[in-house]
Amino acid sequence: MAEEKQKIKMAVYWGAACGGCCVSVLDVHEALFDVVAAADLVFWPIALDTKYQDVEEMPDGHIDLTLFNGAVRNSENEHMAKLLRQKSKILVAYGSCSHLGGIPGLANFSTKEEIFQRVYFDSESTTNPGKVLPQIEYQVAEGILELPEFYNDVRHLANVVDVDYFMPGCPPQTARLVEVFMAIVSGAELPPPGSVIGAGDKAQCDECTRKKSENKGIKKFYRPWEVVDDGETCFLEQGLLCMGPTTRTGCDFRCIEGNAPCRGCYGPTPDAIDPGAKMMSAIASVIDEKEPAAIDKILEDLVDPAGYFYRYSLPSSYIRRKMS
């Protein structure tokens, strides 16, 4: 007699996020029926009506698998990260923001004060003569209204709680999610905690379909509008910056298929402790000049090194915020 397999309880939650990771889960499309056959979705604000109170009332470890996407950038995100750690058996940092800090991590180039100044005072369409700013606690006639505290530093999930697995990508490629999910529900042996899953260990270049030669000397970094990509040659060989050399596979080369160079959202290959430094090393090595002045001239066109090499990973790098 066939034994009915118990459904796992699954949650998907977003911190400082854009919703793209939640959409990547919806993008399982027809496999949704396989997912719901194997899992009870118990908390997923974009799609379900479960409220915070309901999660607080769950016993510890009640949720078998939580996919936490989004960075931690305010007290609400931090509270929910800790709450979900408590209530979950397996906690996955799902997507670039929770894995490495993501695009919201770029806010670490500025301070909280600089950002208020821009948004609430200097923005050209904002009229705010009273210099009003949102408050963590505000007294209105009827009572007190609360807002979460915004932190100066954007954090990736592992900075706040112990994370069992990391699934890279902005968003993770849905096919990888389905593979990981099926492995978990089928009871397959999982890699050791702390592992990156749903991604390869090799660099994109290893399997990239673009034509490569040994001639990787860069004489000039072209801004994308200065040249027309020929559609088949390695971007770097055309002088167009591409993060392929130190970015993990797993995304099915979706940007390359779109004729765009890689921007590194799948995160660094396993040998990189700092997510952008290996890329700087690789790119600089192939600058085709030997004189300091000539090297500097070529580097003049690389207008935003930190923004290129740490686009998705500033909060998880060695210099994780700009020194003021």
Partner 1 sequence: MEYNPKIMAFLCKWCSYTGADLAGTSRMEYKPNVHAIRVMCSGRIEPTFILKAFHEGADGVLIFGCHPGDCHYQEGNYKCLRRYHLLKKYIRQMGIEPERIKLEWISASEGKQYAELVNSFTQTITELGPCHVKEKMAILT
Partner 2 sequence: MKKITIDPITRLEGHGKIEIFLDDAGDVKNVYFQVPELRGFEKFCEGRPVEEVPYIVTKICGVCPGCHHMASGKAVDAVFGVKPPPTALKLRDLFYMAHFVHSHIAHFYALGAPDFVVGPDAPKAERNILGVIGKVGVDIGKEVIKQRRIAQEIQALLAGHQTQCMMNVPGGVRKGLTEEERDDIVKKAEDFIEFSKFSLKIFEDVVLSNQKYVDIILHGPYSLKLHSMGLVDENNHVNFYDGKVRVVDTKGFELHKYAPADYQDYVAEHVEPWSYLKFPYLKQIGWKGFIDGQDSSVYHATPLSRLNASDGMATPLAQKEHDRMYGVLGGKPVHNTLAMHWARLVELLYSAEHCLELAQDPDIVGKELRTPIEKVVGEGADTVEAQRGTLTHHYWTDDKGVVTKVNIIVGTTNNNAAINMSIKKAAEGLIKKGTEVSDGILNMIEMAFRAYDPCFSCATHSLPGEMPMIVEIKDADGKLIQRVQRN
User: What part of residues 77-106 is at the interface with partner 2 (CB under 8 A)?
Assistant: 102-104, 106
How far, in Å, CA of 275 to CA of 309, rounded?
8
Residues 244-303 that bind partner 1 (CB under 8 A): 272-274, 277-278, 280-281, 283-285, 287, 289-290, 292, 295-296, 299, 302
Question: Interface with partner 2 includes 232 (CB under 8 A)?
Answer: no
Sign, CA dihedral 60-62-67-68, equals negative
Q: Is 279 in contact with 248 (CB distance < 8 Å)?
A: no
State the number of binding residues for partner 1 (CB under 8 A): 35
- Binding residue for partner 2, selected from 257, 294, 296, 297, defined by CB under 8 A: 257
How far, in Å, CA of 73 to CA of 323, rounded?
18
Residues 16-35 that bind partner 2 (CB under 8 A): 16-24, 26-27, 29-30, 32-33
- Binding residue for partner 2, selected from 61, 134, 194, 217, defined by CB under 8 A: 134
**CA 306 from centroid of its chain's CA atoms:** 16
- The residue whose two tokens read 């779109």 is 258
- Binding residue for partner 2, selected from 7, 79, 86, 109, defined by CB under 8 A: 109
Q: Is 248 in contact with 262 (CB distance < 8 Å)?
A: no
Closest approach of partner 2 to the CB of residue 230, in Å: 12
DSSP three-state, residue 293: helix
Sign, CA dihedral 78-80-85-90, equals negative
State which residue, 116 or 272, has the beta carbon closest to partner 2.
Answer: 116
What's the distance, Cα to Cα, between the start and end of the chain in Å?
A: 68
Binding piece for partner 2, criterion CB under 8 A, among 47-55, 191-199, 210-218, 288-296: 47-55
State which residue, 32 or 295, has the beta carbon closest to partner 2.
Answer: 32
Looking at residue 175, the DSSP 8-state letter turns out to be: H
Biggest CA pair distance of the chain: 77
Question: Interface with partner 2 includes 145 (CB under 8 A)?
Answer: yes
CB count in 10 Å sphere of residue 205:
19
Question: Interface with partner 2 includes 323 (CB under 8 A)?
Answer: no
Site track for partner 1 across 146-185, x = CB under 8 A? -----xxx-x---x--------------------------
Give CA torsion, residues 176, 178, 183, 187, to 10 deg.
150
State the number of binding residues for partner 2 (CB under 8 A): 91
Closest approach of partner 2 to the CB of residue 235, in Å: 12
Among partner 1, partner 2, none, residue 142 binds (CB under 5-8 Å by kind): partner 2
Does residue 245 have a cis peptide bond before it, meaning omega lies within 30 degrees of 0?
no
Q: Is 92 in contact with 158 (CB distance < 8 Å)?
A: no
Among partner 1, partner 2, none, residue 119 binds (CB under 5-8 Å by kind): partner 2
Q: Which residues bind partner 1 (CB under 8 A)?
A: 151-153, 155, 159, 272-274, 277-278, 280-281, 283-285, 287, 289-290, 292, 295-296, 299, 302, 304-306, 309, 317-324
